[in-house]
Structure 1
Amino acid sequence: MAVESLFDVTLKRLKLILILSGLNLEKCNRRQKIKRRCVFIFNSIWLNSDIIGAVFYFIDGIKNGTDMTEITYLAPCAMLSAVSNLKSFYLITYNKYVNNLIDELRALEINSINYNTNIKNQIEKEERRFLNVVINLLNILNIGMVVNFTFSPLILIAINYVRTKEVELMLPFLDVYPFDPLNIKYWPLVYVKQIWSECIVLLEICAADYFYYICCTYIRIQFRLLSYELENLIPTKPYDQDIRGRLLELIKWHQHLISVTNILELIYSKSTLFNFFSSSVIICLTGFNVTAIDNLAFGVTFLTFLFMSLLQIFFLCLFGDMIMRSSLEVSDAAYNCLWYSVDQRLTKDLMIVQIRAQKPCKLTAMGFADVNLRAFTRVLSSSWSYFCLLNTMYTPTTHEN
């Protein structure tokens, strides 16, 4: 019986998320694929009907001179919904590349079994521990956000009833419908619809982002193993084994990792570009809502939303940065091996490896920006600029009131 790889074990953590979102990463039979597509189409219609309602509310708000806090209340949620749409769309569009990426990462893990087992286990343990912490943290925040958006309107309804003895129905999100959503006949259905729309957004983002984190983690594991093997390629007595043969294996390993990183780049580059742009706006508007909305319940809700938005783009950049840094370590490993104790021909081969490894493997936002921690600081800088501008625009209105 074949032993299940650690990559497959980690990938299983996405099983429930993929089922509920209707997305599929691995190859499956026609029947399973049709089922997943039906769930995805149902969720897309469900979600995008609310997005359309949000767009109409935004347009009506501008036309009618609605207060800026009401307009910006809905905008971050609508933009995050657009991000989820785009991420899931590209996962489906590049499904063949996703399947290929999974197969390649499995092959890399199988091939690395032949190398130092103790070091391999140690590196895998460290990287998987960090990955689990990230996923668990984001799961807690996402659940907290669903709970906040679900119960905040109910809490406000209860508070208003205690004060005024009147029931004033509210919804989690301000959308336009072809009927009165606050009518008691429709209100429960609309309430449930909006909550599930929020769940769809989070499920689709989690499916895309968690798969990205998993792939980045296992690519980094491979780069760290490659660096270790390359650094220890040449023993103290250099001619007691086939060093050139081992070096050729390591070079092929390096080329394989470059190819796998390029596949990951192809899958995520377009959605990452939109994610960078939208994150600046989302963080700006969410921060504005936290400072401008007086209601404590909604303030806490948007504070949770702000942390989730910050962590989402931070981890996107962090895992990209991890790949870049680990690929550069290959160059250091080539330099740190005992290259001066072997013949000139082998030394030249090692120099070529070192020079190639100085060009890092990296993920980009369609080539416009590298996905690393510097990109995260630029997103924060843009968000702060937008926030200051928005706050300046809002201040005169406050004084007029």
Structure 2
Amino acid sequence: MEPVQYSYEDFARLPTMVFWFIGYDMLDVPKSRSRRILNRIYRFLCLASHTVCVGVMIFRMVEAKTIDNVSLIMRYATLVTYIINSDTKFATALQGNAIQSLNLKLAELYPKSTLDRIYHRVNDHYWTKSFVYLVIIYIGSSIMVVIGPLITSILAYFTQNVFTYMHCYPYFLYDPEQDPVWIYIGIYALEWLHSTHMVISNIGADIWLLYFQVQINLHFRGIIRSLEDHKPSVMHDQEDRQFLARIVDKQVHLVSLQNDLNDIFGGSLLLSLLTTAAVICTVAVYTLIQGATLEGFTYVIFIGTSVTQVYLVCYYGQQVLDLSGEVAHAVYNHDFHDASIAYKRYLLIIIIRAQQPVELNAMGYLSISLDTFKQLMTVSYRVITMLMQMIQ
């Protein structure tokens, strides 16, 4: 018995759910008036908290009196690069009309019948458990970065009988001897909403990117499989040429969809790759300076998930590059010997189109592939080494 084949809406559930954590409904699903109002209030609180925290951080940097050691410099560098990264992706996610338009186009293309879904092997492209766990670990490690200081303060209270009133971000100054407790609570609430906004914007935009790329890759695999399975003959030449005409149309349509995807996410890809590399470098150096602490442990997990996040974007970019090129191999390898001359001319059209591989790219300047990931990690390692040598 065949397992239940996932629908297009099943694929959209994960990226949609992630953005719900900051009150955004990317697909504008109808909901009750009260829920819509609550979403807007929560969304405003997240954005307002983020704005306040960024403003205070900039003020502290201009003031520069509180940034007085190497560890703190690395901490501020991490915060600045991560904020730029997250805000770039948040701005990308605000292209609601473009995202919804691309989503509708892919929904129309998605296999409708169970047999078509089985043939396209849609379940093989569905979100794996390991990917879902990665998302959970990424969000969980980010939460731990925020609540880690509170846990440390609580542990200090039970072990040393002193609550240290630690909190996450260094640009908020709190003196327990002069300031009331409610200020500490307010600082923590601001930091929590600010962190939530950044983390969800960061991981959420990438999940939407992967969601669309997986759909495009699914259809390229479908084209390859259709060509490999098709056996043309002069006896049914008309049907064979109609089959190839549909393949050509779909190939052109997929190129158009990939261009739409690049238009939406390409602008943020280049900057986010650079800032992600910077985040990895500064977090790694900060962790090495801090040593074996609870904060250091959570940052190590955070680095691991951030690297995996970049890898997945590059992996699916490599996949569409390979699959679009494999279309030409599928044409060459399929059994076309009994086909008509007209049919073989159609094959040349597909092969010629496949000579220009479809790619995920950053504004047309940088092709996103596994080679990109390799270069990014190499540069990051060299920068980490250089920074450690400078500090020592």
TM class by shorter chain equals 0.7 to 0.9
Q: Which residue of 2 aligns with 1:310?
A: 307
Q: 1:267 and 1:59, CA in 2 relative to 1: closer, same or farther beyond 3 A?
A: same
The residue identity in structure 2 corresponding to 1:99 is Q
Query: Is 1:172 the equivalent of 2:172?
Result: no
1:20 CA displacement: 3.0
Residue type matched to 1:157 in 2?
S
1:371 deviates by 1.1
State the shift of 1:58 in Å.
Answer: 3.9
Match of 1:157 in 2: 153
State the shift of 1:352 in Å.
2.0
Aligned residue in 1 for 2:122: 124
Residue 25 of structure 1 and its aligned partner are, at CA, apart by: 2.4
| CA distance in 2: counterparts of 1:272 and 1:337, whole angstroms | 37
C-alpha distance in 1 between matches for 2:71 and 2:209:
34
8 Å contact kept, 1:5–1:106: no
Distance 1:283 1:211 in 2: 22
> Partner letter of residue 82 of structure 2?
L
Distance 1:59 1:387, change over 3 A: farther
Is the contact between residue 53 and residue 175 of structure 1 (CA under 8 Å) also seen in structure 2? yes
Q: Which moved more, 1:152-161 or 1:285-294?
A: 152-161
14-23 vs 222-231, greater mean Cα deviation: 14-23
Structure 1 gap ranges (5+): 396-401
Query: What is the TM-score normalised by the length of structure 1?
Result: 0.86
Aligned residue in 2 for 1:239: 235
Q: Distance in 1 between matches of 2:48 and 2:126?
A: 36
Counterpart residue number, 1:57: 60
1:69 CA displacement: 0.9
* C-alpha contact (below 8 Å) 2:317/2:369 kept by paired residues: yes
Q: Identity, % of aligned pairs?
A: 19
Q: Distance in 2 between matches of 1:181 and 1:363?
A: 51
Residue number in structure 1 paired with 2:106: 105
1:87–1:36: structure 2 CA closer, same or farther, 3 Å change rule? farther
Residues 1:318 and 1:5: Cα distance change in structure 2 (over 3 Å)? same
The reply on whether 1:43 has 2:40 as its aligned counterpart is no
CA distance in 2 between partners of 1:34 and 1:5 (Å): 32
SS in 2 for 1:240: helix
TM, length-normalised to structure 2: 0.88
Q: What CA distance in whole angstroms lies between the structure 1 residues aligned with 2:354 and 2:114?
A: 23
Q: Choose 306-315 or 269-278, whichever is displaced more.
A: 306-315
Structure 1 distance, partners of 2:25, 2:5, is 20
Label 1:6 to 1:290 Cα distance change in 2 as closer, same or farther (>3 A). Answer: same
Q: Measured at CA, do residues 85 and 4 of structure 1 come closer, stay the same or move farther in structure 2, by a change above 3 Å?
A: farther
2:86 pairs with one of 84, 87, 94: 84
Q: Does the residue aligned with 1:186 lie in a helix, a strand or coil?
A: helix
Paired amino acid for 2:203: C
The aligned length equals 384
Q: Give distance in 2, aligned partners of 1:52 and 1:181.
A: 23
Using a 3 Å threshold, how does the CA distance of structure 1 residues 115 and 342 change in structure 2: closer, same or farther? farther
Shifted more, 20-29 versus 381-390: the winner is: 20-29
Shift of the 376–161 alpha-carbon distance from structure 1 to 2, 3 Å rule, reads same
- Classify 1:231/1:213 alpha carbon distance in 2 versus 1 (closer, same or farther; 3 Å): same
Q: What is the match of residue 350 of structure 2?
A: 353
Deviations 1:277-299 (A, max 9, x none): 10111111111122111351121
State whether residues 280 and 380 of structure 1, in contact with CA within 8 Å, keep that contact through their aligned partners in structure 2: yes
Alignment deviations for residues 78-128 of structure 1 (CA, whole Å, 9 cap, x no partner): 422322222121222x32221111111111114x749855422xx212111
Q: Distance in 1 between matches of 2:361 and 2:379?
A: 18
Check the 8 A contact 2:362/2:368 in 1, yes or no: yes
Give the structure 2 partner of residue 252 of structure 1.
249
Q: In structure 1, give the amino acid aligned to 2:170.
A: L
Following superposition, the deviation at residue 332 of structure 1 comes to: 1.2
The equivalent residue for 1:375 is 372
Rounded Cα–Cα distance in structure 1 between residues aligned with 2:81 and 2:145: 19
1:135–1:210 CA contact under 8 A, matched in 2: no
Matched, 1:223 2:220: yes
Q: Give distance in 2, aligned partners of 1:171 and 1:210.
A: 29
Aligned-residue offset at 1:317: 1.3
- Distance in 2 (CA, whole Å) between partners of 1:100 and 1:65 is 46
Over the residues paired in the alignment, what is the CA RMSD in angstroms? 2.8
